[in-house]
């Protein structure tokens, strides 16, 4: 494990993760206590910060004050707020010398600010058009090694250029180098190839900003889904019950956000209603409660589609992905089902046609070729371009391991699982 400050480390101050019966890797985890009054968490309050230059620390100070006040407001109402985050417009638009040593020092200043204030920080996409950059992988690895809290992306699809095949090649090179030069490959937690992800997305690493100062909210709600599905006997009634449960839970969060926006003058962009999972809040378990079968069975696609239909029909103002997240290494049930061989990378790509955020923390062999990852990223970009939906690829090659190996992590927020095979590699 490297020294990068991730959501896992931030959440680690709250306690260790739960014990899941039947999953050997959970032996080192205990229950992650809720500190709020609700059966879901606010995963993040993310402030969008318009930077005028790399020296604009006043904008960061103002955002930090806003975030701390907003977190306190929600905590006083009984909500647990896991993280606070800052996303800027693309770094290249306000830091002209970002490639230089001086530019890296400026980013280190951003990182020091973020660490001091307990904030996760995103400098946005480094490439937004279709362009191959042979030197970017080396730069991202250097930036990653010198920071703890900084995330970034490249865009691999857009309305203007369609599928960014050249940028997909660049992204694959970055992923390969981050895997090779960070312990357990964890540098890839802070990088993703994104497609049609809009500004204002609160979840990392896809987040970036555009326009006037803003904020958005992301939630962790798998417990709500699982509870709703336990009370129903068919998909139609499950969808109706889930819509009722989520609207009821999210309405007060949204109303308070509107109050905060009115009092601060900061634009409220909405809630990313994606039910982000955690060590004790499995989206895999929720899907299985609806499908009545292990994740990866033939009913999984229908369950994913049904959940997504509800997420797209909620009454609250939404933003970002607002789809179904399936991060293999962050979800105990998804990790277990992968270990059991019930699904693979191709199935995850299939599920992304009806839901989702794309391919997220997918454990791959450490020697996965750049060309194979380029092809996989291009598939994600093509799917995103076809349906004009936000998707991303956050791939996780694990150094020293091959397909079929059992990956064991010391990080309590990473699920032990099997290394997944890429077809044709």
For residue 298, with 0-12 CB atoms within 10 Å meaning exposed, 13-18 middle and 19 or more buried, which class applies?
exposed
Give the angle subtended at the CA of 104 by the CAs of 46 and 206, to the nearest 5°: 30
DSSP one-letter code for 358: E
Q: What span, in angstroms and rounded, lies between the C-alpha atoms of 80 and 404?
A: 38
Q: What are phi and psi of 24, to 5 degrees?
A: -60, -35
DSSP 294: -
Q: Are 287 and 295 in contact (CB under 8 A)?
A: yes
How distant, in Å, are the alpha carbons of 61, 346, 349, 392 from that of 157? 33, 20, 16, 10
- Provide the pLDDT for residue 360: 95
Amino acid 31: pLDDT: 34
Cβ atoms of 151 and 187 within 8 Å: the answer is no
Using the structure block, give the residue that is written with the tokens 């970017």: 136
According to DSSP, residue 20 is labeled P
State the Cα–Cα distance between residues 344 and 341, nearest whole angstrom.
Answer: 7
pLDDT at 424: 66
> Which residue carries 């589609």 as its tokens?
305
pLDDT of residue 15: 32
Angle among Cα 71, 72, 75 to the nearest 5 degrees reads 85
The reported pLDDT for the residue numbered 30 is 30
Helical (H) or strand (E) element with 303 = helix 300-311
Q: Rounded CA gap, 406 and 138, in Å?
A: 29
- The answer to whether 81 and 72 have CB atoms below 8 angstroms apart is no
d(CA 363, CA 51): 35
Partner residues linked to 45 by β-bridges:
84, 217
CA distance 402 to 175: 16
Tell me how far the alpha carbon of residue 17 is from its chain's centroid: 19
Q: Rounded to the nearest 5 degrees, what angle is found at the Cα of 218, between the Cα atoms of 374 and 326? A: 40
Q: For the segment 66-125, what is each residue's pLDDT rounded down to a tens digit?
A: 999 999 999 999 999 999 999 999 999 999 999 999 999 999 999 999 999 999 999 999
Nearest residue to 83 (alpha-carbon basis) of 142, 40, 26, 42? 42
Q: Which residues of the chain have pLDDT under 70?
A: 1-36, 424-425
Report the distance separating Cα 220 and Cα 325, nearest Å. 10
- Give the whole-angstrom CA distance, residue 216 versus residue 235: 30
pLDDT at residue 196, rounded to an integer = 97
* pLDDT score for 423: 74
pLDDT score of 192? 98
- Give the three-state DSSP class for 270: strand
Buried b (16+ CB within 10 A) or exposed e, 123-151: bbbbbbebeebeebbebbbebbeebbbbb
All structural domains of the chain, each given as residue ranges with its CATH number in brackets, are: 7-418 (3.20.70.20)
Count other Cβ atoms within 10 Å, centred on residue 294: 17
DSSP 77-146: TT--EEEEEEEES-GGGT-TTTTSHHHHHHHHHHHHHHHHHTEEEEEEES--SS---TTHHHHHHHHHHH
Residue 294: closest CA among 284, 304, 302:
284
The set of residues, in sequence order, having a beta carbon less than 8 Å from that of 76 and lying 6+ positions away, is none
Instruction: Note the pLDDT tens digit of each residue in 233-283.
Output: 899 999 999 999 999 999 999 999 999 999 999 999 999 999 999 999 999
């Amino acid at each position: 494990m490297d020294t990068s400050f991730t959501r896992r480390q931030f959440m680690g101050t709250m306690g260790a993760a739960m014990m899941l019966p039947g999953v050997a890797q959970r032996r080192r985890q205990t229950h992650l206590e809720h500190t709020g009054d609700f059966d879901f968490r606010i995963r993040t309050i993310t402030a969008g910060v318009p930077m005028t230059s790399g020296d604009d620390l006043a904008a960061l100070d103002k955002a930090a004050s806003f975030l701390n006040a907003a977190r306190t407001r929600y905590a006083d109402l009984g909500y647990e707020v896991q993280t606070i985050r800052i996303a800027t417009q693309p770094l290249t638009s306000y830091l002209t010398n970002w490639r230089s040593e001086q530019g890296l020092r400026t980013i280190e200043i951003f990182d020091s600010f973020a660490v001091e204030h307990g904030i996760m920080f995103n400098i946005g996409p480094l490439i937004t058009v279709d362009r191959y950059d042979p030197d970017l992988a080396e730069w991202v690895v250097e930036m990653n090694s010198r920071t703890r809290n900084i995330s970034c992306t490249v865009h691999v699809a857009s309305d203007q250029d369609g599928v960014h095949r050249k940028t997909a090649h660049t992204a694959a090179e970055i992923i390969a180098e981050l895997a090779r030069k960070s312990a357990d490959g964890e540098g890839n937690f802070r990088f993703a190839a994104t497609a049609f992800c809009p500004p204002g997305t609160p979840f990392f690493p896809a987040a970036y900003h555009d326009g006037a100062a803003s904020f958005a909210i992301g939630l962790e709600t798998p417990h709500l889904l699982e509870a709703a599905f336990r009370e129903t006997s068919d998909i139609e009634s499950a969808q109706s019950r889930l819509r009722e449960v989520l609207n009821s839970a999210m309405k007060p969060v949204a109303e308070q956000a509107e109050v905060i926006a009115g009092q601060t003058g900061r634009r409220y962009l909405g809630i990313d209603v994606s039910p982000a999972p955690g060590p004790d809040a499995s989206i895999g378990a929720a899907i299985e409660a609806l499908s009545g079968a292990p994740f990866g069975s033939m009913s999984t696609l229908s369950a994913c589609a049904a959940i997504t239909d509800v997420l797209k029909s909620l009454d609250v103002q939404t933003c970002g992905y607002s789809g179904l997240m399936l991060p293999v290494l962050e979800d105990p049930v998804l990790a277990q089902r992968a270990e059991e061989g019930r699904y693979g990378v191709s199935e995850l790509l299939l599920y992304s046609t009806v839901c989702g955020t794309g391919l997220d923390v997918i454990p791959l062999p450490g020697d996965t070729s750049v060309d194979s990852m380029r092809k996989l990223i291009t598939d994600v970009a093509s799917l995103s371009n076809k349906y004009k939906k936000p998707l991303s690829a956050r791939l996780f090659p694990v150094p020293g391991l091959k397909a079929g190996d059992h990956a064991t992590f010391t990080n309590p927020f990473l699920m032990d699982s099997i290394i997944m095979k890429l077809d044709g590699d």
